[in-house]
Structure 1
């Protein structure tokens, strides 16, 4: 197995984190995004979108971070990570959609603006980030994990950009249920941290 990866990408971190939680051996290939390595023909042959992560495994090439999580869960994990019953699968899919939607256009976008100078309206994306953090915090008032009674790939998908929301000047520390949930993920065997930067609000949690 080979994972093409960039340590400051939350999308790539999702895949790296789940591989680590599963204890699966993988060759981690760090790409030089600043040097345009993700836009070279050999990488675009794997992923025409020029994005990380990309997973190569047994001749299969999997692109898109949530697709990588689904692939890994189906092939290497026990069923608790991606339930097969209709309600359980739907609950996980709901939050995978949030990871690709509200998280991407909220805390992820806010962080991209501060860390990489992405041209977002910072007030707008920070407001979006707080909207989704309030919803997640309310969900976690009733249970320890976002989609089931134990951790699933939904928790993995949400973790990275929520954990590093302060780097986008999003004060997540006011959401106590979110803070407790992040700590539960970080206590899982095999947890792999997401690289921190000094940008934004200091991490006090």
Structure 2
């Protein structure tokens, strides 16, 4: 088994794939791609990922792209016990719902806010920050009732949500009003095999 993850160290999408590999205990190689030289837009890279984006997982020559698709692939192939992706219909649907949140509400809220400060993206900062707080208020209510997003233990739902939420302060999104959300982040960080997401001195962390 040879698993290679092509990534950028400051990409939350890439970190969620790296986090899944580590939490599943899968040996893997991290291959850093330089955005500045557009290494992800070369013909060689585009042959493996038609959209030229990160992350990209290479599993012995089989390429999987899209961060949440990578999570589902890894759990489906390497977690036959179904801990990370439940086998029952209700549990699987609940995880999928949160994967959709990761690709939608998280991407266009806290992730977009961070893109403004870390990468200079031209989003309306107030708009994306407000979206993040709207999302976090809902998550706070959910996590006040349970330890993890789906059921009583961590699943792909938690992996998908963690990276951009923990670094939301870099996008000027304050986590202080959300104690249940912060406790959830700490529970993920306590999991065996956890790997942190690289931080930057941006936004609320600039001081």
- When normalised by structure 1's length, the TM-score is 0.97
1:12 is aligned to 14
C-alpha deviations, 1:117-138, integer Å up to 9, x for none? 1010000000000010111111
SS at match of 2:30: strand
Further displaced range: 51-60 or 159-168: 51-60
How big is the alpha-carbon RMSD for the aligned residues of Structure 1 and Structure 2?
1.2
1:117 correspondence with 2:136: no
**Could you tell me how far apart the structure 1 residues matched to 2:101 and 2:45 are?**
28
TM-superposed CA distance for 1:60, in Å, is 1.4
Alignment gaps of 5+ in structure 2 = none
TM-superposed CA distance for 1:148, in Å, is 1.6
1:146 correspondence with 2:149: yes
**Could you tell me how far apart the structure 2 residues matched to 1:147 and 1:177 are?**
15
Alignment gaps of 5+ in structure 1 = none
**Could you tell me how far apart the structure 2 residues matched to 1:23 and 1:173 are?**
32
SS at match of 1:49: coil
Task: Please list every run of at least 4 consecutive aligned residues from structure 1 whose deviation after the TM superposition is greater than 3 angstroms.
Answer: none
Contact in 2 for aligned 1:39/1:50 (Cα 8 Å): yes
Contact in 2 for aligned 1:166/1:203 (Cα 8 Å): no
2:163 is aligned to 160
Number of equivalenced pairs? 204
1:75 is aligned to 77
